[in-house]
């Protein structure tokens, strides 16, 4: 894969938390279809296939992670 283009600032980030799945979805701009890349540890990066521009990320088990970090 070519180098992924990472943004240096974001003025229009959107997010959605699915409590049932304990998953946080973060989109840069309006949510859009993209290619997912498993970055490991429950983090999935999404990017536009043609431009390799980062368009969002998904964090699995975020409440469980936070509970472990702050309650231990």
More confident residue, 9 or 27: 27
Q: Please give the average per-residue pLDDT across 57-67, as a whole number.
A: 87
Percent of the chain at pLDDT > 70 equals: 83
For residue range 27-56, list pLDDT tens digits in order. 988 888 999 999 999 999 999 988 888 899
Percent of the chain at pLDDT > 90 equals: 47
| Pairwise CA distance, residues 38 & 18, whole Å | 19
pLDDT of residue 72: 58
User: Domain segments of the chain: what residues?
Assistant: 13-71
């Amino acid at each position: 894969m070519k180098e992924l283009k990472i943004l240096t600032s974001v003025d229009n980030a959107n997010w959605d938390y699915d409590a049932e799945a304990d998953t946080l979805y973060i989109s840069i701009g309006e949510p859009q279809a993209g290619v997912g890349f498993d970055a490991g540890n429950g983090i999935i990066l999404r990017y536009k296939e043609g431009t390799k521009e980062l368009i969002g990320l998904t964090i699995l088990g975020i409440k469980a992670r936070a509970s472990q970090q702050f309650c231990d």
